[in-house]
Amino acid sequence: MDTSLNGSGRCLYCHNVFSPEISWQSFIGIGKKKLLCTICESKLEPINMICCNMCGRPIKRKEEISEATNSKDKHNLTTGAKRRPLMASPSPTATIKLPPLFIKSPCHLCFDCQLWKTAPFSSKYPVQHRSLYTYNLFMQELLTKFKYRGDAKLADLFTDELKALTTSIGRIDCVTVIPLTEERLWERGFNQSALLAQAFPWEQLLQRKGSAGKQSKRGRKSRLAVFHDRIFELTKEARERVWKDKCILIIDDIYTTGATIRTAAELFYRKGAADVFSVTVARAVGQFKK
């Protein structure tokens, strides 16, 4: 709706007018349109450094990472990993927008993921995750504006980058998003994850448990079959589909502990899915801040 405004060089976040740099790519229409002014853009912190292979947590310069001795099967990564220093450090001058890509056999794991893999639940249902940016103060404000003040256009900042982030996954059979509760969806008017997923052919495969009053209409037996501590379930259509050996991508806005995504991923794994991946715009990296 406001594309003409933005085309004339208004920052999508602060709405100040700025002069977009003219490159030959933008001249012939293939370049990425600049949507943020230089000041706002400089407040974004792209995660373009060495990351935990599994959860995508940026790894601090001197932190040691573990190297699993058995990387043949990522579902069965061994503990007692050999430790060695990090090979490279984050480059402050790096201009690469994308964080390290998804890899086939994640072996360099952060401390949390090493702990996670000893938990039966997590070792059985691993989710490889990557985020575009650090969840810093600016990102917090930006996402607040996006989610709670209805500035849905802000999703445009990230849709293409999220898509680019997933290119190394290879085969993806299905893309879905983390659903909101019906109340939240009504208040907000949109699901932010769905807007972020607009560059993908995504489908609504998950729903909050109990939505549409379906829960109460279920027979007792089926109600008991549902785990009460989990917040999502597959939609009716998704329940009827065959998930065996499928690769699924889940899209959300923020990754904090990863619990939300793991809970959603488990539903597909229980149906026989081969791999579940996830991407988000922002990632909390609290304890790694200097």
Closest-CA residue to 283 (of 125, 136, 116, 112): 136
- Rounded to 5°, the CA angle 160-55-210 comes to 80
Q: Closer CB to Zn ion, residue 38 or residue 167? A: 38
Query: Which stretches of the chain bind Zn ion, using CB under 5 A?
Result: 11, 13-14, 37, 40, 52, 54-55, 57, 110, 113
Q: Closer CB to Zn ion, residue 32 or residue 223? A: 32
CB of 38 to Zn ion, least distance (A): 8
- Backbone phi and psi for residue 30, each to the nearest 5 degrees, phi listed first: -110, -10
Contact residues for 6 (Cβ-Cβ < 8 A; gap 6+)? 12, 33, 35, 153
CB of 39 to Zn ion, least distance (A): 6
CB of 260 to Zn ion, least distance (A): 16
* Cα 82 from Cα 196, distance rounded (Å): 39
CB of 161 to Zn ion, least distance (A): 17
* Cα 72 from Cα 85, distance rounded (Å): 22
* Cα 100 from Cα 110, distance rounded (Å): 14
Q: Closer CB to Zn ion, residue 57 or residue 60? A: 57
CB of 228 to Zn ion, least distance (A): 28
